[in-house]
Structures are given as C-alpha cells and as structure tokens.
Amino acid sequence: MTVEKRTMNCITCPMGCEMTVTIDDGIVINVEGNSCLRGKKYAEVEVTAPKRMLTSTVKIKGGILPLLPVVSQAPLPKEKILACARELRKISVEAPIVLGQVICGNILGLGVNVIAARSMKQEEQKV
C-alpha cells in the first residue's frame, strides 16, 4: 500500500480551487479544498487518466489569414496531445470555413473531432 498526497488545481471553472488529493495505490481516497463535486471528479480523472482540451491551428488556403484556429470537441488523453498536434500540422484546408466545421474527424482514432474555432472567409470575400 502506497499512500501519497498530491496538490493540484481544479481547472474545471475559473475558481481554480487548490486541492489536496490523497491517493492510495493509484486510487483517489480523499479530496480536500474543492468547492464542489466537480473538483473531486476532476481529481479522479487527473490521477487515473488525465485529459486536456487541444487548441491549435491548421494551414488554410485562400483564407483571409494563413492559419485557422481549431479546438477539440472534447478533452483528449494528455499523453496523446503532442501526437494530435503533429497530426494537425499535416492538415491544410481551403476557405471558406464555418465555425464548428469538422477539420479532423476522430483524430488518431480517439473518438474526438477537431473543429474550426472560428469562421474564415475566402480572401476575395474580405470586404
């Protein structure tokens, strides 16, 4: 039996509660400092299978800007974030793009789509 205490901030909302998490053999047995139950849930996921939202950009042809901001529709496994970012570097899309359009479906087979975080007009549509 290995009991450890870990300090972490809940990132679920802007409150950013600092929590002390007690872990016994990889299982969260106590959480202190959270202001709501979402903090406990965050701590459990962070200890067992941490996830993060991915925000990045992809190349876009014919758009009013050279890069299109994109975001994952759901959090991805933390250890896959860099591989997902590398995958996005291979992608080039063509304007126009609308907000929420799927740019990379089911990235790396993880069951999460990466979508456009903004609309992007074609260059000649600037005015």
Chain residues that interact with ligand SF4, rule: CB under 6 A: 10, 12-13, 15-17, 34-36, 38-39, 42
In the block, which residue shows the tokens 């590398």? 86
Distance of closest approach, residue 8 Cβ to ligand SF4, in angstroms? 10
Distance of closest approach, residue 15 Cβ to ligand SF4, in angstroms? 4
Residues in the chain: 127
Q: Which residue is nearest to ligand SF4 (CB)?
A: 39
Distance of closest approach, residue 63 Cβ to ligand SF4, in angstroms? 36
CA distance 32 to 60: 46
Strands (E), the chain: 3-9, 18-24, 27-32, 51-52, 55-61, 67-72, 76-77, 92-94, 102-104, 114-116
Distance of closest approach, residue 117 Cβ to ligand SF4, in angstroms? 23
Q: Which amino acid is at 92?
A: S
Nearer to ligand SF4, 31 or 68 (CB): 31
Nearer to ligand SF4, 39 or 63 (CB): 39
Quote the tokens at residue 61: 């042809």
